[in-house]
Amino acid sequence: MSVCILGNGLTSLALAKSLVNKGVSVDIVYDKKKDKINYNRTIGISKTNLEFFNKEILNINKLSWNIDKIEIYSENLNNEKILNFQNTGQKLFSVIRNYELVYYLTKKLKKERLCKFKNNLSNKSVLNQGYDLIINCEFSNFITKKYFSKRISKDYNNYAYTTIINHSKTSNTKAIQIFTSRGPLAFLPISKFQTSVVYSVKGNQRIDFKSLIRFYNKFYDISSIDNFSRFKIQMSNLRNYYHSNILAFGDLLHKIHPLAGQGFNMTLRDIKIFSEIIQKKLHLGLPLDLSVNHEFEKKSKHINYIFSNGIDFIYEFFNFERKTKSKIISKTAKFLGKNFNLNKKFIEIADNGFLL
């Protein structure tokens, strides 16, 4: 049994390692053209997803920085704290540098007998190689344009700015998000001396990102700020997850607003569902064919759609306050956050997604 994965990004590599660990032969087919490495991009991985990653894919504890508390502030209430999440004695999630995880997975996969990296095959020729399954993780290629162009999309007219701030030593296990007049600004620790910053801003007009960081920062003694990256924010959900034995995966399936840091967590939950389907097929001696894709869509599509719209609701919830300059929403969130059971439920959803 052989599987082809299109793309050599983080999703492709994590999925490939999961399959190789089960004894499935995997070819990773990618474009020769190298993308510029983004050294300031980070990802948040929930506690449950990190445990899954460590057990079923690869142990990455040495790359992760654990967060045990989240504080949320509102500029509309004079930067008053409105929500506070913590799980006493336990981490809530972990933050990892994207490029470090990509490098580590690539290094491990290149040592695997069952995994081959190929950059000499075109997308069209892949279709004629006799693979049992083809998993497409690329947002723009021949197969995507031909089979996976229909999606439900929403343009936020937002741009996300990301960078790393360097600061004096601190315990740094608390993530902070501020709902500012321009959009949500997040401080995500990655070490005792460094913190990732993500700012989602309304409109296409460029901003003085570094000055705004210093303006809103009340938490760190900053020594320097690295160069920043900028990318457009959209929400999208693919209408059809597969065509015959070709399955779409990762960002191609779903994109969400980064305010809750749940993008890669959605993908990891998809990998878990897909992995369980593959394991069941292998255990029963059944072939890896289009039935895998059908079962995956049936189990994951509705959950992904609900979760995507849940994140969208959170964004619009606070965006309405930003536009109307009303304080009632922040005050309501602050009131609800004091309810222990509701607070606990929010933590569970962020950790596990919607369990339907």
pLDDT bin (cut points 50, 70, 90) of residue 287 is very high
Q: Looking at residue 126, which CATH number applies to its domain?
A: 3.50.50.60
Burial class (CB in 10 A: 0-12, 13-18, 19+), 29: buried
- The answer to whether residue 334 scores a pLDDT higher than 60 is yes
Average pLDDT over residues 158-173: 96
Whether pLDDT at 235 is above 60 = yes
pLDDT of residue 202: 86
The pLDDT value given to residue 356: 44
Would you say 183 and 243 are in contact if contact means Cβ atoms under 8 Å apart? no
Q: What percent of the chain has pLDDT above 70?
A: 95
Predicted confidence at residue 188, as pLDDT, reads: 97
Q: What is the mean pLDDT of residues 27-35?
A: 81
Which residues constitute the domain of residue 9? Answer: 2-352
Whether residue 65 is predicted with pLDDT greater than 90 in this model: the reply is yes
Lowest mean pLDDT among 15-24, 52-61, 200-209: 200-209
Residue 178, class by beta-carbon neighbours within 10 Å (0-12 exposed, 13-18 middle, 19+ buried)?
buried
d(CA 100, CA 196): 14
Domains contained in the chain, number: 1
